[in-house]
């Protein structure tokens, strides 16, 4: 049960951090030349990807316990952005020399998620 608690606790903080940062940056972007770009979401994804890479490297070098890894990487950064996990897994495939699988992961993730979001929007509009 400790594992679930670690993920839940980290996820709560990560989600709140994502909401705060994303809304703050989106408000600033609206008043700037970047109003056309979802700057908050982009920033959260870039920051989360950087942080999960740094956390992974740190934990590999320090041999951190599983509970701490779950708290930080799955909970906190997973709550902050799942794009960070996608980035890490793609880099791990590339580092393992799995270029085709990494490319397929990128293509499938981007295009199927966009298609799924479009289908969800269409279904939502149909139902409402």
pLDDT tens by residue, 85-96: 789 889 999 999
Cβ-defined contacts of 55-59 (< 8 Å, 24+): 56/88
Q: Where are the alpha helices (DSSP H) in the chain?
A: 2-30, 39-62, 66-69, 77-80, 83-95, 99-127
Q: Check residue 106 and give its pLDDT.
A: 93
Burial letters 116-127, b for 16+ CB under 10 A, else e: eeeeeeeeeeee
pLDDT in tens, 21-75: 989 998 888 888 877 777 888 889 889 889 988 998 888 888 888 999 999 999 9
Q: Check residue 128 and give its pLDDT.
A: 62
Q: Is the pTM of this model over 0.85?
A: no
């Amino acid at each position: 049960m400790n594992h679930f608690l670690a993920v839940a606790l980290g996820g709560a903080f990560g989600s709140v951090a994502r909401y705060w940062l994303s809304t703050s940056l989106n408000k600033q972007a609206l008043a700037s030349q970047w109003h056309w770009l979802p700057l908050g979401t982009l920033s959260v994804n870039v920051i989360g990807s950087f942080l999960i890479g740094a956390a992974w490297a740190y934990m590999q070098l320090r041999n951190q316990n599983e509970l701490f890894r779950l708290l930080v990487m799955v909970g906190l950064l997973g709550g902050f952005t799942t794009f960070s996990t996608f980035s890490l897994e793609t880099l791990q495939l590339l580092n393992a020399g799995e270029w085709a699988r990494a490319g397929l992961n990128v293509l499938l993730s981007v295009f199927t998620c966009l298609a799924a979001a479009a289908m969800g929007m269409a279904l939502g509009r149909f139902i409402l």
